[in-house]
Chain A
């Protein structure tokens, strides 16, 4: 079905060898997981597979990619999309239309299919991804997890024979992630679609994968059965997450003894983007210095909204949020100072042309003496100091934004889905850095639906399920 021969890819004007000597054959009906450390070339491989590099994204591709006996170079772009479907890492960059229905129908419409066939494919794709109830919703009103499902449905509606998904579960809650993988697994088994999933959440690999491929520094380091992924030593060898066993968490007793004062609090908090659709109501939550609080809940439950309310980016429709004695949503710079928020799209925080000066710009403004040093190195960004922040991978962007936010020495740090794009090694590093931050008296509020984050020992939890 899909054959790669000696595939190589050089990015950054010939400076970075992202892929080298990849030989891989994927047969119809196979469910292949591709894992690897952040920056190992997974996303580049996915872009090469569907021809986006070098057609859209710059890069020099060498070697041969063959789809069902035809070389990729011999196919025109619209012929490729009927054979290879690609779900991007960030669903925001994939959606075009205003409503879910239009979005999913967009691909078949471009192919000029008759309306009855478009309607059939639309219905099938919506059911396959479990979003039939979202059919009439506006895409810009969906949560990121819901958008991820829509992006998948919009690619499925093209009925490709090879499906490439770049971290399809990174923004989904566990139930949704399992449901999606279950459906993809059935798609591979029943309809012979070759499914290739690039993923950091290794806990999902063993039950579904027929094969595991691990990339290291742009080359295949392992290609074989998926069972070894359950072995902790194997995961550590390749810096992967090990989801089957509880990862080393932080002691709750130590955390609770550090709690000194309430830094921010919400009382009777309610919010609605539209009067007839409240996101949540009557929430009470205290965020204390020296303590970490994790906010969990299914996609669309309001985790991001809650963090934005604490950051002062939204005004509550009921109740109030206090940061010290101030309302953080008041548009005065002074009272809100001390809150750092790293959202789901951290790149909009960046202003500078390289990683080092970006980090330094946050450091300079921090309190004297309170600035943490060496965070870039601790978060694995030491070798990337000269790179442009926007050229980093998704995980690297998040690490930089967390490092920058911490460098400013905030009293309260708000992190929204901080683990997206993180391998096991960097996730452990991140949690250690955050632990140090709370140990020094910082107040931390994290929203996540990543089971590898939620299973840690968090001293305070806030579950938005059903609120």
Chain B
């Protein structure tokens, strides 16, 4: 078990050390292949690929693991594919689910293994305009912010429920829901102001290219992975 873990950790480190442009290519390839693939064998291969990337991205102790529902959806997809492979006519129901799960897994693995700074640097290297780069970085932060705000709002509701009696009539419940929504929106506006202030106090508005802590450059592993990705997608599309 320890041996397997060590091997996985090394593979995980190697995978996360890939050039972010290679990871973008991998994500694009998997997404395209997922959308064009037909039949259970191709979808099974893509699911296995996305699953392997997810495992490699989450195997390091510093990384966060996928949530339980991600594993449950993956298991359900695997079961669906097995039924499909056994000639049970479930293809029309299973295929969309498997596609969703593959995209979810690949997206999760990509976001976990590619820090925002590296991604921004990679996008700049492929000549993306700076506003677009900043939008990508801000979007990642905003997603985290939104998730934490939702969690705090939910926590606030539970705390209020812990010491206040609940609204009894539907009308009062509706009013309470409206108040929660307005308060949540007001908080989001406030947080967006604070986030803008934080961005400005870190020099985000400076014109010109950003640099990156890790100098990004294509290595042999990147070339091999890139060629393998493109080849696999071509095969899946053509066969």
Q: Do A and B come from one complex?
A: yes
Note all chain B residues with C-beta closer than 8 A to A101.
213
Given known A-B contacts A56-B197, A97-B117, A98-B115, A313 and B183 have beta carbons under 8 A apart: no
Note all chain B residues with C-beta closer than 8 A to A388.
186
Note all chain A residues with C-beta closer than 8 A to B163.
337-340, 362, 365, 405, 408-410
Contact with B156, one of A86, A95, A348 (Cβ below 8 angstroms): A348
Q: Is A102 an interface residue (CB 8 A)?
A: yes
| CB of A310, distance to nearest CB on chain B (Å) | 11
| CB of A62, distance to nearest CB on chain B (Å) | 21
Q: Is B67 an interface residue (CB 8 A)?
A: no
A343 touching B209, Cβ below 8 Å: no
A105 touching B197, Cβ below 8 Å: no
Contact string against B for A residues 64-97, beta-carbon threshold 8 Å, 1 for contact and 0 otherwise: 0000000000001110011001101010111111
Q: Is A312 an interface residue (CB 8 A)?
A: yes
Closest B residue to A136 using CB positions: B62
Note all chain A residues with C-beta closer than 8 A to B191.
93
Contact with A340, one of B144, B162, B176 (Cβ below 8 angstroms): B162
B201 touching A115, Cβ below 8 Å: no
B197 touching A313, Cβ below 8 Å: no
Note all chain B residues with C-beta closer than 8 A to A351.
160, 176, 179-180, 182-183
State in angstroms the CA–CA spacing of A319 and B176 once bound together: 36
Q: Is A325 an interface residue (CB 8 A)?
A: no
Note all chain B residues with C-beta closer than 8 A to A47.
197
State in angstroms the CA–CA spacing of A56 and B162 once bound together: 37
Interface residues of A in 284-323 (CB under 8 A from B): 311-313
A107 touching B203, Cβ below 8 Å: yes
Interface residues of B in 163-200 (CB under 8 A from A): 163-166, 176, 179-180, 182-183, 186-187, 190-191, 193-200
Note all chain B residues with C-beta closer than 8 A to A405.
163
Q: Is A370 an interface residue (CB 8 A)?
A: no
Contact string against B for A residues 397-435, beta-carbon threshold 8 Å, 1 for contact and 0 otherwise: 000000001001110000000000000000000000000
| CB of B231, distance to nearest CB on chain A (Å) | 32
| CB of A328, distance to nearest CB on chain B (Å) | 8
Closest A residue to B167 using CB positions: A365
Note all chain A residues with C-beta closer than 8 A to B203.
77-78, 81-82, 107, 110-111, 158
State in angstroms the CA–CA spacing of A92 and B198 once bound together: 10
B152 touching A119, Cβ below 8 Å: no
Interface residues of A in 5-55 (CB under 8 A from B): 47, 50, 52, 55
Interface size on A, residues (CB 8 A): 75
Contact string against A for B residues 194-220, beta-carbon threshold 8 Å, 1 for contact and 0 otherwise: 111111111111101111111100000
Closest B residue to A405 using CB positions: B163
Interface residues of A in 337-366 (CB under 8 A from B): 337-341, 343, 345, 347-353, 362, 365
Majority secondary structure of chain B interface residues (helix, strand, loop or mixed): helix
A336 touching B200, Cβ below 8 Å: no
Q: Is A369 an interface residue (CB 8 A)?
A: no
State in angstroms the CA–CA spacing of A94 and B120 once bound together: 19
Note all chain A residues with C-beta closer than 8 A to B213.
101-102, 105, 109, 115, 118-119, 122
Note all chain B residues with C-beta closer than 8 A to A312.
158, 162
Note all chain B residues with C-beta closer than 8 A to A340.
159, 162-163
Q: Is A246 an interface residue (CB 8 A)?
A: no
Note all chain A residues with C-beta closer than 8 A to B152.
345, 348
| CB of A1, distance to nearest CB on chain B (Å) | 19
A339 touching B162, Cβ below 8 Å: yes
B117 touching A102, Cβ below 8 Å: yes
State in angstroms the CA–CA spacing of A96 and B196 once bound together: 11
Q: Is B100 an interface residue (CB 8 A)?
A: no
B115 touching A93, Cβ below 8 Å: no
State in angstroms the CA–CA spacing of A352 and B183 once bound together: 7
| CB of A410, distance to nearest CB on chain B (Å) | 5
State in angstroms the CA–CA spacing of A409 and B137 once bound together: 45
Note all chain A residues with C-beta closer than 8 A to B182.
351, 353
Note all chain B residues with C-beta closer than 8 A to A96.
116, 137, 141, 195, 198-199, 202
A115 touching B61, Cβ below 8 Å: no
A140 touching B165, Cβ below 8 Å: no
State in angstroms the CA–CA spacing of A56 and B204 once bound together: 14
A118 touching B211, Cβ below 8 Å: yes
A110 touching B159, Cβ below 8 Å: no
State in angstroms the CA–CA spacing of A349 and B155 once bound together: 9
B116 touching A313, Cβ below 8 Å: no
| CB of A124, distance to nearest CB on chain B (Å) | 14
Given known A-B contacts A111-B206, A410-B163, A313 and B155 have beta carbons under 8 A apart: yes
| CB of B196, distance to nearest CB on chain A (Å) | 5
A109 touching B212, Cβ below 8 Å: yes
A109 touching B164, Cβ below 8 Å: no
State in angstroms the CA–CA spacing of A77 and B199 once bound together: 10
State in angstroms the CA–CA spacing of A178 and B213 once bound together: 31
Q: Is B64 an interface residue (CB 8 A)?
A: yes
B153 touching A93, Cβ below 8 Å: no
Q: Is A188 an interface residue (CB 8 A)?
A: no
Q: Is A333 an interface residue (CB 8 A)?
A: yes
Closest A residue to B202 using CB positions: A107
The 3 nearest A-B residue pairs measured at CB: A78-B206, A93-B194, A348-B156
Of the A-B pairs whose beta carbons lie under 8 Å apart in the complex, a sample of 21, sorted by A's number, is: A52-B201, A77-B205, A77-B206, A88-B194, A96-B137, A96-B141, A96-B199, A97-B117, A98-B115, A98-B144, A102-B117, A109-B213, A110-B203, A111-B203, A111-B211, A112-B211, A337-B165, A345-B152, A350-B183, A351-B176, A351-B182
